[in-house]
Structure 1
């Protein structure tokens, strides 16, 4: 069987930040704007994100998954800018997106989020339908399950939450695909375990209980801006949960430079085989001099 290739990137925090209007800097946005002007603009660079996307396209993946934080302060003009970037990555049929906490930095309007809706619609969604999570997409031998942990939070907080309604819908969705033989990939922004209370998924225990009852083969997330592999208990054994650095980052403090994951997924006899390749910038190289290169290759399943 020919391998299906899934690329995974996250947290591009697209620059440049549009010039905000004074009234748009009320509340939490003011803190975020000061943060951006002080140091984050030096870390998140559009040329790095563009180089990473160019390398992804050279690998010709069958599909691309993006696990949130396209933007920074959820300014209205950021949604338009991010839509143009999404189109440069690929079509809604070839790219699947779930939102991150910065995409919901403050409460936003449906008009703003609708600009990305085609990238977050399930296969059964009607054209123009409002966003609904969880959603399900089938691409080749993969079933992609997208959930949203993006909720507005208080200043200095970056927690995520699915909520009881989304968890109930996810339980029903798993029951409906109980006999689906596809390789199942869960897409979420927040990791399912976090040492930092201000960044955690607050109802992670409920989601982990679902994963323990229903088969998931791979979990992809962002949020922490680091390379990460965690294992969680599923009904048929351990399930890998893979995180990735910011797609636009220079190396800073304990955070690595931009990278993305490339998964090669094949069916062999009665079992799935999944190999992870990590491609990105070496932490010691400046983006102007360094090329995107293969950093690691790991057999997951």
Structure 2
């Protein structure tokens, strides 16, 4: 059986285009985010993201997963600019996007806010989550934990309806022989981020995963390289992997990194590529088997 490669990157935080912040936004949470961006723009650099994307394209993965925070203020102008960026990467069928909290920073709630990204959310042609994409030997369960929150909070929530649909999807025997990957922005395990950034209904998600299992969970949000696990059925453990921001320069933060997930015979190896401080460009930082984590 040939190797199927899925690339994972997250939190690109694309530079806000002109007009991304308007006078009406001073009365919303976007004002706080705009103030914070003055500092963050020194960390999230477009040239770093361009180098990472070039490195990723050179590796020619079969599919790419982006786990959220393409934008900063979630304005219509930013959503449009992020849509143009996604189109520049290649065919939408080769990319899956799971929205992040910055993509839902302010404005009306509900997944319909991501309508411009519909082709990258799944194959159903709609904004309902979860969506399941079948790619090679994998079944990718794309969740959305992005919801508007109060100032100074960056929490996420899946909601009962989405969790019930995930419960049914993971129980579907049509996916039983697939390598099942669950994708969301917020980490699903305890202690990965502070309470003000955590997934509010993570216990309910873990209950679904403990019931039906999965082979791998991918997330972003923490801006760090994280390795963890959540309980699976019958005492098993489901590995959880997070990556740093794809645009972060090495300046006291975890520098930009992406993972290549190489699936073969229902097993997976992880190849880690990213910026190594003191070295120009991106390089391989290591590789390991998922079996080593559980």
TM-score (norm 2): 0.93
TM-superposed deviation, 1:298: 1.2
1:203-227 deviation per Cα after TM superposition (whole angstroms, max 9, x unaligned): 1011111111112000000000000
Q: What corresponds to 1:242 in structure 2?
A: 241
Q: Is 1:274 equivalent to 2:268 in the alignment?
A: yes
Which of 281, 286, 290 is matched with 1:296 structurally? 286
Q: What are the superposed Cα offsets for residues 32-53 of structure 1, whole Å, 9 maximum, x if unpaired? A: 111112x111111111111111
- Partner Cα separation in structure 1 for residue 238 and residue 207 of structure 2: 13
User: Residue 288 of structure 2: SS of its match in structure 1?
Assistant: strand
Pairing partner for 2:261 from 260, 263, 276: 263
1:103 paired residue number: 103
- Give secondary structure in 2 for the equivalent of 1:119: helix
Instruction: State the SS of the aligned residue for 2:267.
Output: strand
Match of 1:212 in 2: 210
Please give the secondary structure, in 1, of the residue aligned with 2:37: helix
Q: Which residue of 1 aligns with 2:12?
A: 12
Tell me the CA shift for residue 195 of structure 1.
4.4
Task: Give the corresponding residue for 1:283.
Answer: 277
Deviation at 1:113, TM superposition (A): 2.1
Bigger CA drift: 64-73 or 85-94? 85-94
Instruction: Give CA-to-partner distance per residue, 1:78-120, whole Å, 9 cap, x none.
Output: 0111011111222111001110000000124877522111100
- Distance change (3 Å), C-alpha of 1:108 and 1:251: farther
Comparing 51-60 with 236-245, greater Cα deviation is found at 236-245
CA distances 1:234-282 after superposition (whole Å, capped 9, x unpaired): 12621110000000011233x2111101011100xxxx22110110111
User: Quick one: distance in 2 between partners of 1:57 and 1:28?
Assistant: 35
Cα separation, 2, equivalents of 1:112 and 1:201: 20
Q: Give the match for residue 22 of structure 2.
A: 21
1:162 alignment counterpart: 158
**1:21 offset after TM fit, Å?**
1.7
Count of aligned residue pairs for this structure pair: 286
Task: Tell me, in whole angstroms, the C-alpha distance in 2 between the residues paired with 1:201 and 1:118.
Answer: 25
Q: CA deviation at 1:231?
A: 1.4
The alignment status of 1:134 with 2:130, answered yes or no, reads yes
Higher-helix-fraction structure? 2
SS of the equivalent of 2:144 reads coil
Helix, strand or coil at the partner of 2:70 = coil
- The more displaced of 181-190 and 236-245 is 236-245
Aligned to 1:224: 222
Matched residues in 2 for 1:300 and 1:25: separation?
46
- Give the superposition deviation at 1:180: 2.5
Tell me the SS of whatever aligns to 1:42.
coil
Displacement of 1:283 after TM fit?
3.1
- Runs of 4+, deviation exceeding 4 Å: 108-112
For residues 116 and 172 of structure 2, the distance between their equivalents in structure 1, rounded to whole angstroms, comes to 29
2:31 aligns with: 30
